[in-house]
Amino acid sequence: MNRSELIAQIKSKQSFLCVGLDTDINKIPEFLLDSEDPIFEFNRQIIDATHDLCVAYKPNTAFYESRGAAGWESLAKTWEYLPNDCFSIADAKRGDIGNTSEMYAKAFFNEKSGGMSFDSITVAPYMGSDSVKPFLGFKDKWVILLALTSNNGSKDFQFLSNDDGYLFEAVIERSCEWGNHENMMYVVGATRGEAFVSIRKHAPNHFLLVPGVGAQGGSLQDVCKYGMNSDCGLLVNSSRSIIYASSGKDFAEKARVEALKIQQEMAVELNKIGF
Amino acid sequence: MNRSELIAQIKSKQSFLCVGLDTDINKIPEFLLDSEDPIFEFNRQIIDATHDLCVAYKPNTAFYESRGAAGWESLAKTWEYLPNDCFSIADAKRGDIGNTSEMYAKAFFNEKSGGMSFDSITVAPYMGSDSVKPFLGFKDKWVILLALTSNNGSKDFQFLSNDDGYLFEAVIERSCEWGNHENMMYVVGATRGEAFVSIRKHAPNHFLLVPGVGAQGGSLQDVCKYGMNSDCGLLVNSSRSIIYASSGKDFAEKARVEALKIQQEMAVELNKIGF
């Protein structure tokens, strides 16, 4: 999915919600454990219940890998089930030397090779340009680079600074030379509203993938106030507060209720930029 | 495998060689493509031919993921086949927020869950303490944290500096508070011999996993001169120059010849520290 198609979806659905499919076998409703593939079955019902309220889905690969090859199959089936009008994100946080990152790109972008073709993948920046560039050569595919994450550990290195600014600012500045706002986004945690101001200086046009609203305590209104641009420019992720809204038979229904609440708040924000 | 067992293996085999299993379906000998699982069959023969000459094996997960669930199965079979006297490294370069890193730990350290139980995993430091700590709670398991990598892109961020030094030095300094030399190692590229001096100031007792000797141009003698400590303290990795030494029927035999050359050079270096 390219940039203008993504923006069209945001306008049409009045939403910039991304639903995080962090599907944990120990947290899904017990009655699903009898299905052939409980992880996929959970995802399928969540997708059916929410796809008109969100513009993106983001399975985090860790939850699938933790179940070995079977989990990897659940991930491929989930990818295959995702509707075409939703942007798909493999939240994999990969990154390696050039020839190895090419292999990761094959895994997530090349259906013939790895059985999946996500629209985008999250990438860790520590290894620099050649760890990122192999993902940028695919038409209408995206790198979503970690810039400022929502966790406590983000303080350890991302805020190290010198006269040129913080490390997360250097990541954005330098990586803007490798790609552009048509093939790169940045991960920016919602728990740091004030940081959006500086990030928007370096990357005014890029989309930002924003985790940390909901369970982690970030405010949607702050994120929009400081981070939204005239194309919206935001994908706000919510995982646990939607997919685990209920642990009963009504889990999908309750997930829809939560997603709808967020979508309605998002419509208000989109209205402010004339969407 | 714990630290003293690893050191005992190094002494006994007169080697600190790690063989990188970067097994690419497009590079293995053609005659193997008829086997049921060509990737595993290649690895099996490489392991049979080299296990008495090396102390560690390091499959890089990218090469397996690029083949989807089938590749993940080849990885699990490879792990299962590794001899007990070899240290196993999942070169996965993972890292995510705490509850998600726990899932990655399950994938690679918990056989019941993910079907594998490697001795160690490589981890990317960008997300900080809570992305690393979940891997440290397993008995006799190790985190191998990226510090200074061997690729060109390492210049982009790892050498950013302030009054306290370079970013890669901050990574080592800070992470020494999360673990110790019994459960952490660092990745330090062989292409930067001079950097070992500074790294040994911060981490005198830690083992270092050193890629970049061979195909990438690093010198074994320089690595030993600047990086070896009284317990050896080094695992030097070689991937392509060993496993792709021949593309014919004699690939395993030729891999052994290459591994033997390196082992013999290593024995000379080990002799200098009385091993």
Q: Mean pLDDT over residues A44-51, rounded?
A: 98
Report pLDDT digits (tens) over A68-109: 999 999 999 999 999 999 999 999 999 999 999 999 999 999
pLDDT for the residue B192:
73
Q: What is the DSSP string of A94-114?
A: E--SHHHHHHHHHHHH-HHHH
Strand partners, B149: none
Measured between beta carbons, the chain A residues lying within 8 angstroms of B146 are 126-127
Q: Where residue A215 falls among pLDDT bands split at 50, 70, 90?
A: low
Cβ-defined contact of A66 to B171 (cutoff 8 Å): no
Percent above pLDDT 70 for chain A? 99
Question: Looking at residue A212, what is its pLDDT?
Answer: 80
Q: Is the pLDDT of residue A245 over 70?
A: yes
Task: Return d(Cα A102, Cα B4) in angstroms, integer.
Answer: 37
Q: What percent of chain B has pLDDT over 90?
A: 94
The pLDDT of A114-142, averaged and rounded, is 97
Choose from A157, A162, A186 for mutation: most chain B CBs within 10 A. Answer: A157
**Quick check: A68 and B161 CB within 8 A?**
no
**End-to-end alpha carbon distance in chain A:** 19
- Average pLDDT value for chain B: 96
**CB pair distance less than 8 Å for B68 and A68:** no
pLDDT at A213: 84
**What pLDDT was estimated at residue A217?**
74
pLDDT at B193: 75
Task: Report the candidate in B155, B119, B159, B158 with the shortest Cα–Cα distance to residue B138.
Answer: B119
Q: For residues B217 and B207, give the distance between their C-alpha atoms in angstroms, rounded to a whole number.
A: 21
- The answer on pLDDT for A192 being more than 90 is no
**A218 phi/psi in degrees, rounded to 5:** -75, 155
**How many distinct structural domains can be found in chain B?**
1
Put simply, the answer to whether B103 touches A153 (Cβ < 8 Å) is: no
pLDDT for A216 beyond 80: no
Question: How many other C-beta atoms can be found within 10 angstroms of the C-beta atom of residue A250?
Answer: 13
Contact between A66 and B114 using a beta-carbon 8 Å cutoff? yes
Query: In residues, how long is chain B?
Result: 275
- Strands (DSSP E) contained in chain B are 17-21, 56-59, 87-94, 120-123, 142-148, 161-162, 165-166, 184-188, 207-210, 234-238
Q: Give the model's confidence band at A214: pLDDT under 50 very low, under 70 low, under 90 confident, else very high.
A: confident
Whole-number Cα distances in Å, A69 to A22, A238, B233: 17, 26, 34
Burial of A227 (0-12, 13-18, 19+ CB in 10 A): buried
Lowest mean pLDDT across A204-213, B125-134, B161-170, B193-202: B193-202
The alpha carbon of residue A28 is apart from the nearest alpha carbon of chain B, in Å, by 15
Mean pLDDT of all residues in B226-244: 96
Q: Note the pLDDT tens digit of each residue in B101-149.
A: 999 999 999 999 999 999 999 999 999 999 999 999 999 999 999 999 9
pLDDT at B213 (0 to 100) = 84
pLDDT digits (tens, 9 = 90+) for B142-190: 999 999 998 999 999 999 999 999 999 999 999 999 999 999 999 999 8
Kindly report the nearest CA distance between residue A11 and chain B, in angstroms.
31
What's the pLDDT band for A268 if we cut at 50, 70, 90? very high
Contacts of A149 in chain B (CB under 8 A): 97, 126-127
What ipTM goes with this model?
Answer: 0.96
* Active-site residue identified among B93, B106, B225, B254: B93
pLDDT over 80 (residue B194): no
For the domain that residue B253 is a member of, what is the CATH number?
Answer: 3.20.20.70
Mean pLDDT for the stretch of residues B6-15? 98
Tell me whether residue B133 is one of the annotated catalytic residues.
no
Give the domain extent around B217: 3-272
Q: Residues A237-244: what's their mean pLDDT?
A: 95
Task: Report whether pLDDT(B96) > 90.
Answer: yes
Q: At what angle do helices A38-50 and A251-272 cross, to 10 degrees?
A: 40
d(CA A18, CA A31) in angstroms, rounded, equals 26
Query: In this predicted structure, what is the pLDDT of residue A165?
Result: 93
Whether the pLDDT of residue A144 is over 70: the answer is yes
With contacts defined as CB-CB under 8 Å, which chain A residues touch B134?
none
Task: Provide the shortest C-alpha distance from residue A101 to chain B (in Å).
Answer: 7
Mean pLDDT of A15-19: 98
Q: B108 and B122 in contact (C-beta within 8 Å)?
A: no
Residue-level pLDDT at A193: 75
